[in-house]
Structure 1
Amino acid sequence: MSIVIPVYRSETIVPKLVAKVADAMHTLHLSNRFELVLVNDCSPDDSWKAITDNARLHPFVKGITLRRNFGQHNAVMAGLHYARGRYVILMDDDLQHPPESIGKLLEALRSGYDVCYTRYVGRQHALWKRLGSRFNDMVATYALRKPKGLYLSSFKGLRQEVVQEVIRYDGPYAYVDGLILDVTASITSVDIEHQARADGEGNYNLRLSLSLWLKMLTSFSILPLRLATGIGFCMSVFSLIMILVITVHEFLHTDYPRGWTSLIATILMVGGIQTLCLGLIGEYLGRAYLKVNRKPQFVIAGTTFGMPPQNRSSASNPEHHV
């Protein structure tokens, strides 16, 4: 089994994380049958040093460091390229995901499911994050055709066959859950106790959360374009109705003064909608442009084990672009 964890600003948490994972694997009688892949997403603290120190102490720890910060999902993709286990567990580095719950995920995968997500009991996130997750869940249900009731948590398990399909995606804007939903419908979920963060504060603020939401919406769905088309059609019908109303009104009330307020309001509304639609089209074109120009999904600066990625056996240089 492989456990892939992106690491960012977790210098003090890494030793605790490694110890708890080792204890959980011992309980599951998998002490010699797992690897812990820690991906340093160019963390500004000494997280990479903590990873390399633990890699020297524990043979199951495999460290990867990226040349710059690519974001959580891209860092996960980097780890998935190196994951060799028959089953792959994805989790966060802050210990809010208890390693003791890995057994539940493993049991679900062994029973035949391709993917197993987790549902948080006693969620420890702030109110704005919980509200944002509900909104994101609603959008994902319609945009990505996510099964209703399935919570897209970052703590999940995948079979290696699914991982191989996921890492075929080479675009610069990875959204792991969108890729999973594109690959399989054999998905289940289990309940876990959500823990408080072991140290420090969460790395996701409102700006990053909005960026992730926009990535999900524009990278794996054309719903915004269809929405823009619908708005344009509705505005065209509304404009036609207003033209008829104004024409009739002009014949019935020839001395009625024309109002600048309604005219300016209409112009601003139509102009705003046009700008919004052009922005959506530009977002899609921009992402396509960056992919055509091969903007890297991640760039590996080095590893603690010097092994090329599983599906890139010809790569001999430790600096690896995807």
Structure 2
Amino acid sequence: MLISIVIPVFNESKNLKPLYNQLKDNLSNYELDIIFINDGSKDQSLDTLKALCQDNPICRYYSFSKNFGKEAAMLAGLKAVQGDVCIIMDADLQHPVEMIHEMIEFYHKGYDQVVAKRDRQGESIIRSIPTKLFYYLMNVTGDINLTDGEGDFRLISKPVVKSIISLSEYNRFSKGIFEWVGYRKKSIPMRNVERNEGQSSFSLFKLIDYAIDGIASYNNKPLRICFYLGSFIMCLSIIYIIIALIQTLIHGIDTPGYFTLLASILLLGGIQLFCLGVIGEYIGRIYYETKKRPHYIIQESSDDND
């Protein structure tokens, strides 16, 4: 059985050789096809990949012309898959190679997706609380159900790979795509592991952007919330106008309240800006989809040397 392993790479030059050695040593009983996707790294990752692929025929690399993001890197890797199954994993050594054996066992039992479910031990509160909030909001508002801790480290069968590739949308959210395509899935527990070298490129703000992408990609409920919220405020405004008119007819014109005026302006203005932001998020996605730009541009690859 040929196993294709897709590894997105962004500034991971110090981790590439140790990762390759782990894969080669732990998976020596399998035929491997290791695919590295260099996502516009600024360090020596590309040079390391060139040397690694030149000395080891089981390795291939594809290098983007710039940083297109992990979603694009995973898509490029999936399009290059030749194996019977595909393993997606990070290059930072946070994904235990030993778990691939267990994934393959469940694949032979009939599962098309075998996903590592990471625990939250050792994770900072600053990161864990927003993450839990994201999963809650995603599952409450979204059309799909995501499981906290399930990430990109997973085995997927060839039919799953073909289904994912067939989705041509520009704004990609892989966690949602994996769930949307369906197929029989099995989750296996994974211990949280710290990075081997370097620092994560995912800051808190990038995580927030990622959460917004996920929520906006798989439902239109935020737009519906704006509709209901606007309708509710409009009804309250009509009731307030009627009450104020009746009081004016009975008691005459009263001195207008500063607090009421200020509160109304701030409340209505804030709601309008919020709704415009939500609408703008969806319009922006339509804008990018209509451009039909490629998800990535490959500047060079190991195939060029064949």
Which residue does the alignment assign to 2:45?
A: 47
Partner of 1:300: 298
What is the CA RMSD across the aligned residues, in angstroms? 2.1
Select the residue among 63, 69, 72 that pairs with 1:71: 69
Unaligned runs of 5+ in 1: 308-317
Q: Distance in 2 between matches of 1:152 and 1:244?
A: 53
Identity of aligned residues (%): 25
Aligned residues: 304
- TM-score calculated relative to the size of structure 1: 0.87
Match for residue 130 of structure 1 among 128, 131, 140 = 128
Structure-1 separation of matches of 2:21 and 2:244: 74
- Over 3 Å counting, the alpha-carbon distance change for 1:136 and 1:122 in structure 2 is closer
1:24 aligns with: 26
Find the counterpart in structure 1 of residue 14 from structure 2: 12
Task: Give per-residue Cα distances to partners, 1:97-139, cap 9 Å, x unaligned.
Answer: 1111112222222222222221224644432222222112112
Deviations 1:278-304 (A, max 9, x none): 222222122112221112211111111
Contact 2:120/2:149 (8 A) holds in 1: no
Instruction: Say which SS state the counterpart of residue 13 (structure 2) adopts.
Output: coil
2:178 aligned counterpart, secondary structure: helix
- Over 3 Å counting, the alpha-carbon distance change for 1:20 and 1:73 in structure 2 is same
SS in 2 for 1:6: strand
- Stretches of structure 2 lacking an aligned partner (at least 5 in a row): none
Match runs of 1:138-177 below 5 Å: 138-147=136-145, 149=147, 151-177=149-175
Q: How does 1:203-218 map to 2 (within 5 A)?
A: 203-218=201-216
- After TM superposition, the score normalised by the length of structure 2 is 0.92
Equivalence for 2:218: 220
Letter of the 1:223 counterpart:
K
**Cα distance, 1:153 vs structure 2:** 1.2
Distance 2:19 2:122 in 1: 18
C-alpha displacement at 1:207, in angstroms?
1.8
Runs (4 or more) in structure 1 with deviation over 4 Å come to none
Contact preservation (8 Å) 1:171, 1:297:
no
Query: 1:145, CA displacement in angstroms?
Result: 3.7
CA distance in 2, matches of 1:42, 1:185: 33
Task: Give yes or no for contact 1:144–1:178 (8 Å, CA) kept in 2.
Answer: no
